[in-house]
Amino acid sequence: MRVRILYTNGTKTIVPFWIRHDGKNVYCGNAGVDHHISYHESGKLHVKSKGDALHEKMCVPLAKLAGKYNILTSIFPNKQWQFDNAPGRMEYRNQESDTTLVIDARSIPADANLIVKIGVVEAGRLDALVPECAAHDEVGMTVKQILVSTTVNPWVYLMLYWGTEAEFNDSTWAKTYTS
């Protein structure tokens, strides 16, 4: 199963992240970059960069996953320079995918920050994602899109959040800790 996250401004579409779950192992990374994160069926998790395994740790084996496990969280601004400065290797060229999560920059405030979360969740346990859905509410960033691929076990999830500085300033956290 292959998932791509597409980020578009209507003129240009880039692939900031890809995910592959081959039924045993999960891999995710950035398009055209020679490193990725691997979560193996044994529970071994690491970053692979230029052939070297880095930051190795043991997690629960994928088949025994209970609840959810967040593999990657990335934050970036919704700015035009994301498209202007994107290297050619990130441009979307109709690569084969089983499913996609599309982020349309035109439908998001220009001053928003976006958070993308990629992880795995125990099959049948969408309830395990509820805390993840609310994770950034306190700071004014609410989940806007969720993609769950149920064709593999464990399921793969992607979540997109965004929020503006005004939403952050109106948040419970800001009112409590910045006053």
The 10s digit of each residue's pLDDT in 14-73 is 999 999 999 999 999 988 788 899 999 999 999 988 887 778 899 999 999 999 999 999
The yes-or-no verdict on residue 110 having pLDDT over 60 is yes
> Is the Cβ–Cβ distance between 139 and 176 less than 8 Å?
no
* Degrees, nearest 5: CA angle 62-66-68: 85
Q: At residue 102, does pLDDT exceed 80?
A: yes
One-letter amino acid of 58: M
Q: Tell me how far the alpha carbon of residue 106 is from its chain's centroid.
A: 19
Residue 9 CA to residue 105 CA, distance in Å, equals 5
Which one is predicted more confidently, 130 or 165? 130
Q: Which residue matches tokens 């045993």?
A: 24
Please name the residues in contact with 120: beta carbons below 8 A apart, sequence gap of 6 or more: 21, 26, 39, 62, 65, 68, 69, 71, 154, 155, 156, 157
Say if residue 150's pLDDT is above 90.
yes
pTM reported for the whole predicted model: 0.89
